[in-house]
Amino acid sequence: MVVSVPALIEQMLQPEFYPHPVLEPIQLIQTHISYVLLTGDYAYKVKKPANFGFLDFSTLQSRQHFCQEELRLNKRGAAKLYLEVCTVTQVGEQYQLGGTGEAVEYALKMLQFPQNALLSTMFEQGKLNDSHMSELGRVVAEYHAHKTETNDYILSFGEVAQVRASIDENYEQTMKYIGGPQTQAQYEETKRYTDNFFAERPELFASRIQKNYIRECHGDLHLANICLWKDEILLFDCIEFNEPFRFVDIMYDVAFTVMDLEARHRQDLGNAFLNTYVEQTGDWEGLQVLPLYLSRQAYVRAKVNSFLLDDPSVPFSVKEGAAKTAASYYQQAWDYTKPRKGELILMSGLSGSGKSTTARYLASKLGAIHLRSDAVRKHLAGVPLLERGGDDLYTEEMTQKTYARLLELGMMLSRVGMSVILDAKYDRTLLREAAITQAKESQVPLQIIYCTAPTEVLLSRLENRTSDIADATADLLTSQIQQAEPFTEKEKPFVKIVDTTQPQEAQLKEVLGS
């Protein structure tokens, strides 16, 4: 089936349309809202004259405005890619890029990068790894902290009524797909979950506003809108057309990336990104709102794919694939709403014993939140993570505050159904007993993973440690050994001893439930 495109797009597929050399054949990529033409060195995006309610490109004036907005907003995360907004003029039947006549359309001009630089392509090629995800976590944390603004108007979009309106709009716009890619039961149960979340957690939304976590975010941060080009991660194609989709909680952005990786059945990669991000920002409280946004992001991907079913310009074969994709996303959105049982895992052991390495392994397998005491301590003190702390960071008072905060966060997150790993020495009976007592009171399952290794191995690891947030050095090891308190008979049933010089998988089978 040959699908027709507007005369302008037909001409933009011809090399002579452009004032610069092109790579033939020019490629056309289209979504439900735009045409993108890949010419070799440059890419051009033309917005479709569509009105979906949540976006309105129906007039030339609106398309010009949103081209300018797209340029402005994407300069934040991908300045090197976004170049200018070009006018398109017409003489007779011929369209021109630029020209002196009256504008009949607008095109956003961008530098074209190779498609294999997309994180989505890298994923498909098996090239995306934990290191990429950790770096992405750092990039997104920096983006939110320094490149997204907020003010009273933007913060107002964090109010329950505003957040709810955006989510409810998704349900309204997808009712017609029930019986197709969506099922009645999934629709009702997913909606019931969000209804209950808004009704039961108003204080959570208020706290997000109070802490300025509602910002002018990216709004569409999935793998196909992120690239690794010339050794730099770039965040592009953010939402320019709808304020409620852009003036959002920072966890809304994070949820899009996590959801996308989980949709691709790589929870481990999503976990590496998520744990790096929250460690960088210290926004562990924000994880409470994450399930709502995970469900919302899966649902909106289902909606976007459902819209393709109504577009007469989309080939039947593409619609078949879109229907299957939409069904998968509707299922995923529903899965996020199912109740989960939280658990608490305490890491224990001397510095250099492999606690953090073991914790990262467990987190990737369990989808757990990995809370490192070094990060919690430095966030409490306002010390940058990679900056070495002074003596005042390690006073007895600061240590007590750090462990209290660790346990507070661990209980908060485990109570809402998350697996949480508290990564600290936990070398004192009182510290361990406090965690055991609170976990019992809240009926949260608890385990203690005690990491060991020969002293010479501990010394070697500490001496060779680089680019890590932990400050412990080899000269502290002797005092740590002397001060460590053995496990009591009451504690021993919770303890699993792990020799970190041996393979992890076999030793941790019981912990992982396999």
Q: What number is the average pLDDT over the span 7-22?
A: 96
Whole-angstrom distance, CA of residue 103 vs CA of residue 40: 25
384 φ, ψ (degrees, to nearest 5): -55, 145
pLDDT at position 30, please?
A: 87
2 band by pLDDT with thresholds 50, 70 and 90: very low
* Separation CA 124–CA 118 (nearest Å): 10
Separation CA 34–CA 25 (nearest Å): 19
Structure confidence at residue 471 (pLDDT): 62
The whole-angstrom distance between residue 60's C-alpha and the CA centroid of its chain comes to 34
Residue 222 DSSP code? S
Asked if pLDDT for residue 363 goes beyond 50, the answer is yes
Average pLDDT over residues 413-436: 96
The pLDDT of residue 1 is 38
Closest by alpha carbon to 275, among 117, 126, 418? 418
Average pLDDT, integer, range 317-344: 96
pLDDT band at residue 472 using 50, 70 and 90 as cut-offs: low
Q: Mind listing the pLDDT tens digit for each residue in 213-254?
A: 999 999 999 999 999 999 999 999 999 999 988 999 999 999
Q: What does each C-alpha distance from 283 to 91, 147, 207, 291 come to in angstroms?
A: 55, 17, 12, 15
Residues 23-46: pLDDT tens digits? 999 999 988 799 999 999 999 999
Q: What share of the chain is helix, strand, coil (3-state, %, to 5)?
A: 55, 15, 30
C-alpha 359/C-alpha 425 separation (Å) is: 12
Least confidently predicted of 206-210, 266-270, 481-485: 481-485
In percent, the amount of the chain with pLDDT more than 70 equals 97
User: Own/partner pairs for 226-232, CB < 8 Å, 24+ apart?
Assistant: 226/118, 226/119, 226/136, 226/257, 227/78, 227/113, 227/117, 227/118, 227/119, 228/117, 228/119, 228/122, 228/132, 229/113, 229/114, 229/117, 232/80
Please report, for residues 413, 433, 446, the alpha-carbon distance to residue 449 in angstroms, rounded to integers and kept in the order given: 19, 15, 10
- Residue 186, classed as helix, strand or coil, is helix
If you average pLDDT over residues 388-413, what whole number do you get? 92
Q: Where are the domains of the chain?
A: 7-112, 117-335, 343-512
For residues 462 and 347, the model is more confident at 347
What whole-number distance in Å separates Cα of residue 501 and Cα of residue 461? Answer: 11
Which of 63, 23, 59, 62 is CA-nearest to residue 45? 63
| Degrees, nearest 5: CA angle 22-235-133 | 120
Residue range 63-73: mean pLDDT, rounded: 97
Checking DSSP bridges between strand 103-111 and strand 42-47, what pairing results, if any? antiparallel
pLDDT in tens, 168-208: 999 999 999 999 999 999 999 999 999 999 999 999 999 99
List Cα–Cα distances, 398 to 373, 380, 381, 393, 401, in angstroms.
Answer: 11, 9, 9, 6, 5
Q: Mean pLDDT throughout 423-431?
A: 95
Report the C-alpha gap between 358 and 340 in whole angstroms: 23
Q: How far apart are CA 472 and CA 389, in angstroms?
A: 10
Please state which of the ranges 162-166, 251-255, 314-318 shows the lowest mean pLDDT: 314-318
Q: What is the pLDDT of residue 476?
A: 74
Comparing 117-335 with 343-512, is the CATH topology the same? no
Confidence of residue 404 (pLDDT cuts 50, 70, 90): very high
pLDDT for residue 473: 66
- Which one, of 448, 429, 419, lies nearest residue 487 by Cα? 429
84 confidence band (pLDDT: 50, 70, 90): very high
What's the fold here for domain 117-335?
A: Aminoglycoside 3'-phosphotransferase; Chain: A, domain 2 (3.90.1200)
**Full DSSP string of 230-244:** TTEEEE-----S-HH
Question: Which 3 state secondary structure label does DSSP give 152?
Answer: helix
Q: Are 248 and 242 in contact (CB under 8 A)?
A: no
Distance CA 329, CA 6 (A): 31
Band the pLDDT of 474: cuts 50, 70, 90.
low
Q: 343 forms bridges with which residues in the sheet?
A: 419
Return the percentage of the chain with pLDDT > 90, whole number: 80
CATH code of domain 343-512: 3.40.50.300
What pTM was estimated for this model as a whole? 0.92
Average confidence score pLDDT of the chain: 93
